[in-house]
Copies of this chain bind each other. A is one copy, B any other.
Amino acid sequence: MAELTQRDVAYEANGTRMIGCLVASAAAPGGCVGAPLPGILLVHDAFGLGADTIALAARYAKLGYAVFAADVWGERTEAHDGADIGRLIGSMVGDRDDWMARLAAAHEAAAAQPEFDADRTVIVGACFGGSSALEYVRTGAPVVAAVSIHGGLDLVAHDWSAATGSATVLLCTGADDPMAAPEHWQPVKAGLTGAGLDWEFDLYSGTQHAFTNPKADALGMPGAASHPRNAARAWARTIDFLGEVTGAAAGIRTSAR
């Protein structure tokens, strides 16, 4: 596997300075690859853009993607407790235009990187990042696809009339996730369907919020728990899906199908 490039990229929206992180194969573009790589706009969970998210970006980058990890909170702010999380998420839900402007600015900054093929952008995120991915699609963003891993579906607004794109959407959700209960995901499904978007909704039994986060159990957050088996399932499904929607077969996966 090729060596990875990793570099910080500053950008801004509405006066907020954000410091994203680009991670991609050091061979792209040029080298044996010779062309920009399909791009993942990776949105962090409520804890902000820290070491865990950058490690996740590297995991995707090793599979052949150019990954731009966004810094939605700005200045690499990290949440440390429930009060931080409540304040940060509340500020986005209270000003959805600012939330989307921050994502769009990250997308623009990503598109300016030579490794990142903006015409093949997939927005991917877990928890708050999943909510962000869905909101970005709901508001008509130009991505080919979106992946929400235990996204907080309770944060997604219900008016999908601006979702005029053709994004394909994958949701991997725990059946016992209080932030993605049936009353939350029914409007998401209805909105996606009403907008004519293609979606797949994978539901895992006995699975709570934040199930891909190995630290979820230590958080002591009601309704959140890690589930390594289903984290592996969601990862495998996401990798297959990314290959399908970006047409990025080379190096992504070999299969005996």
Residues of A that sit less than 8 Å from B by CB: 63, 175, 189, 192-193, 197-206, 230, 233, 235-237, 239-240, 244, 251-257
Contacts and interface: CB of A to CB of B under 8 A. Distances in A.
A200 B244 CA distance: 21
List the number of copies, as a whole number: 2
Contacts of A199: 204-205
B256 A251 contact: yes
Nearest to A203: B201
Contacts of A244: 233
Most chain B CB atoms below 10 A, which of A175, A192, A205, A237 = A205
Given A254-B254, A255-B254, A257-B239, A206 B198 contact: yes
Nearest to A256: B253
A152 to B, nearest CB: 19
A63 to B, nearest CB: 6
B200 A201 contact: no
Contacts of A235: 257
B257 A236 contact: yes
A232 to B, nearest CB: 8
Contact of A252 (B175, B200, B233, B256): B256
Given A203-B203, A236-B255, 11 more contacts: A63-B256, A175-B193, A193-B206, A199-B205, A201-B203, A202-B202, A233-B240, A233-B244, A236-B257, A239-B256, A239-B257
Nearest to A182: B186
8 contacts: A63-B256, A175-B189, A198-B206, A199-B205, A202-B202, A239-B257, A252-B256, A255-B255
Contacts of A63: 256
Nearest to A236: B240
A201 B198 contact: no
B256 A254 contact: yes
A169 to B, nearest CB: 8
A149 to B, nearest CB: 14
Nearest to A241: B233
Given A251-B256, A255-B255, A257-B239, A233 B203 contact: no
Contact of A205 (B200, B230, B236): B200
A202 B230 CA distance: 13
A58 to B, nearest CB: 14
